Amino acid sequence: MESDFEKNVREFLAKPPFCYRGLKEDQLALFCEALTHDSYSNEAADMDPPRKIPSYERLEFLGDAVLEFLVCEHVYKDTDLTEGPMTDYKQDKVANRMLSQRIMENGPDIDSVMRVGNGHLKNGRSIEENMRADCFEALIAAVYLTFGLDEARRLVRDTVLRT
């Protein structure tokens, strides 16, 4: 039986820009990991009995590289910019502050579904821009691992590169 979090993740992934339905159990588990901040994982490890719940950090590592590659590919193929302006363009798209802003503008609503520790729940739900950007990078990795590079490219195009 699915947990409430897993149900929320399924609902989240069924909406744009993802539109994923019918995920298998292992695929859903990967997306749940991508939406789990280390503050939640750390608190779960301190529970009695301790629970091992992976956070998005490993996925974020991969997703950061996939995102940067796809933005570089786009600026190379779809613009005539020279190297210096290409670097500026890439940094504008992948810097955490700008990435967080684009996510807020273009979706997805990561803040509402991300699993965080109690410290981020005091005085309402507090999701910082770095957390949002890192989580999105983890989601890019989950998309890449589950559906491949073309689908990751579509997600980046629809959220990060969208004007």
Alpha-carbon distance values, 140 to 20, 62, 152 (Å):
13, 8, 6
Q: Which of 83, 137, 151, 158 is catalytic?
A: 137
Q: Which of 64, 73, 134, 150 is catalytic?
A: 64
Report the residue count for the chain.
Answer: 163
137 is catalytic: yes
Helices of type H across the chain: 4-14, 25-34, 38-45, 57-78, 83-94, 96-106, 110-113, 129-147, 149-159
Q: Kindly report the backbone phi and psi dihedral angles of residue 21, in degrees, each rounded to the nearest multiple of 5, phi listed first.
A: -130, 155
Residue 9 CB neighbours (<10 A): 23
64 is catalytic: yes
What amino acid positions are annotated as catalytic residues?
A: 64, 137
